[in-house]
């Protein structure tokens, strides 16, 4: 029997795509000006709401976020568990958020309470379309009739080869979110350097380079692609951006000249993850050569 797939909004996949494939979505929440928000309608966010959101971030608006608690996960998963069957939750990286740990706590509680059902949590060690690519892979496995256990083995084998490269305008937004120290963030800003981050083997975002100017930054992403892309795979390559679609599409065109994958998926960063990386961000996600995370 086919299993149910659930993910969170950090996966950054279009809402219509998830509905079409029957994937459940639990939202991260974010707050500003005293109000809590969620983003489950990606079409509305792409249609102008997102542009205004990132413009306000650039103007100094402060956004706070919180992890998803075990209680919220239990409330979301329990109706599915009552129906029986198996459930796969594809989670944001444990190296970025404690929400994955909360999901594991909820899964343990629900597996004990409903022995005729089963929920498994998969830690993607990724965010945005890095996480989204794992969701799409799980959909493909399920739709080809693979079991939950076989699907987990596929996801685990491919996780180590996922390459995530993120070009930022500066490190200040990551500093506000507690991801980097103030001295590092301030130094990069003063020097006019644009940091490049990658996802490491622990699922953390770490600085792997600095460049002057956006053109050089985009060129650096393309160099990572040319060096590390697995050209033997018929794969989807993801590009996410905050408020700079022209850079995202220019990067796509450059990558296509190097090597054209089966598909490009270009999306605007959803607001929670986007609040950490900040305006001016472009990120690239692809299946790399063996153990690509280590490079």
On the question of pLDDT at 105 being above 90, the answer is yes
Q: Which residues contact 8 (CB under 8 A, 6 or more apart)?
A: 25, 26, 27, 28, 68, 91, 92, 99, 131
With cut-offs at 50, 70 and 90, classify the pLDDT of residue 246: very high
Quote the radius of gyration of the chain (alpha carbons, Å).
19
Mean per-residue pLDDT for 19-42?
96
Task: Say what the pLDDT of residue 47 is.
Answer: 84
Q: pLDDT (tens digit, 9 = 90+) per residue, 159-176?
A: 999 999 999 987 777 656
Integer angstrom CA distances of residue 36 from 48, 69, 169, 249, 279 = 19, 15, 27, 32, 21
Residue 184, pLDDT above cutoff 60: no
Q: What per-residue confidence (pLDDT) applies to 170?
A: 78
Alpha helices, H only, 22-93: 42-44, 50-58, 70-82
Domain span(s) for CATH 3.30.1180.10 in the chain: 162-294
Q: What is the mean pLDDT of residues 111-140?
A: 98
Q: In the CATH scheme, what architecture does the domain 4-28+68-159 have?
A: 3-Layer(aba) Sandwich (3.40)
CA separation for the pair 57, 170 (Å, rounded): 13
* Residues carrying CATH 3.40.50.10440, the chain: 4-28+68-159
pTM over 0.85: yes
Element (H, E) at 90: strand 85-91
**C-alpha to C-alpha distance for 188 and 144, rounded to whole angstroms:** 47
Which tens digit of pLDDT belongs to each residue from 39-71?
A: 999 999 988 899 999 999 999 999 999 899 999
- Digit-coded pLDDT (tens) for 250-266: 999 999 999 999 999 99
Torsion 254-237-99-204 (CA) sign? negative
The pLDDT assigned to 189 comes to 53
pLDDT above 70: residue 101:
yes
Identify the CATH assignment for 162-294 out of 3.40.50.620, 3.40.50.300, 3.30.1180.10, 3.40.190.10.
3.30.1180.10
Using alpha carbons, select from 68, 139, 123 the residue that is nearest to residue 91: 123
Residue 139's pLDDT band, with cuts at 50, 70 and 90, is very high
């Amino acid at each position: 029997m086919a299993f149910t797939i659930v993910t969170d909004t950090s996966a950054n996949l279009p809402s219509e795509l998830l509905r079409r494939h029957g994937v459940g979505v639990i939202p991260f929440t974010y707050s500003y000006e005293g109000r809590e928000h969620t983003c489950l309608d990606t079409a509305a966010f792409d249609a102008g709401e997102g542009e205004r959101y990132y413009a306000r971030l650039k103007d100094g608006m402060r956004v706070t976020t919180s992890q998803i608690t075990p209680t919220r996960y239990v409330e979301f998963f329990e109706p599915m568990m009552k129906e029986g069957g198996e459930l796969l939750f594809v989670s944001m990286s444990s190296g970025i958020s404690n929400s994955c740990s909360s999901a594991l706590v909820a899964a343990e509680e629900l597996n004990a309470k409903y022995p005729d059902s089963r929920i498994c949590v998969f830690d993607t060690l990724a965010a945005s379309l890095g996480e989204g690519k794992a969701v799409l892979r799980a959909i493909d496995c399920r739709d080809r009739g693979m079991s939950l256990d076989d699907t987990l083995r596929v996801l685990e084998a491919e996780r180590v080869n996922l390459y995530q490269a993120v070009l930022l305008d500066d490190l200040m937004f990551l500093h506000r979110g507690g991801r980097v120290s103030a001295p590092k963030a301030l130094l990069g800003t003063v020097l006019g350097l644009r940091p490049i981050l990658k996802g490491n083997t622990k699922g953390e975002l770490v600085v792997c380079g600095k460049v002057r100017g956006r053109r050089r930054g985009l060129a650096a992403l393309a160099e990572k692609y040319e060096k590390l892309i697995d050209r033997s795979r018929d794969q989807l390559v993801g590009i996410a951006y905050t408020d700079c679609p022209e850079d995202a599409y220019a990067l796509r065109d450059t990558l296509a000249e190097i090597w054209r994958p089966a598909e490009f998926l270009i999306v605007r960063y959803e607001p929670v993850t986007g609040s950490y990386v900040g305006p001016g961000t472009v990120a690239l996600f692809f299946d790399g050569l063996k153990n690509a995370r280590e490079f």
